[in-house]
Amino acid sequence: MRTITSGLIAGAAATSALNMVTYLDMAVRGRPPSSTPEQSVQKLADAAHVGLGSPQKAPNRKAGLGPLLGYATGIGVSVAYAYLLRGRRPPWPVSALALTALAMVAANAPMTVTGVTDPRRWSTADWAADVVPHLAYGAVAAAVYDQASSAD
């Protein structure tokens, strides 16, 4: 139970860090939010043959469910990582880079497979807007996991 709890705590903190870095980037560069979370919700709803409601309510549902997918991904990655480690604590840089990579794959692979995005067509700015927040995720997840898994 402690392993899962450590992963939950690390994932929640790391996902918050990722979101803060993303929002800071939006504020500094004046860029709009990504539409990929809402597009992902639509793809999932279509695949599950689930309607999102009327044309007036569907955009609001997508706007609410999109970020929830991000939280589920962020928390899920850290819980899976904690479970795989089962109390072992690799050096912080190793954990931070592993968690960064895992989070990027978990976030982008489904969107790539479903055609929501194509990383081969991303500009340098697009890659930076994806990598930098995920680095924040990995750094925070590794630090919090290390602390949570060592607490007695």
- Listed by start position, the domains of the chain span 2-150
Residue 150 has pLDDT above 90, yes or no: no
> Tens of pLDDT along 60-75?
999 999 999 999 999 9
Q: What is the dihedral of CA 35, 59, 53, 111, to 10 degrees?
A: 10
Query: How many CA atoms does the CB half-sphere of 33 hold within 13 Å?
Result: 11
Residue 141 has pLDDT above 70, yes or no: yes
pTM of the entire predicted model: 0.93
> Tens of pLDDT along 111-136?
999 999 999 999 999 999 999 999 99
Instruction: Check residue 152 and give its pLDDT.
Output: 46
Residue 151 has pLDDT above 80, yes or no: no
* CA-based torsion, 115, 48, 75, 37: positive or negative: positive
> Tens of pLDDT along 76-110?
999 999 999 987 889 999 999 999 999 999 999 99
> Tens of pLDDT along 40-59?
999 999 999 999 999 999 99
Distances (CA, A) of 92 to 28, 38, 147: 29, 33, 11
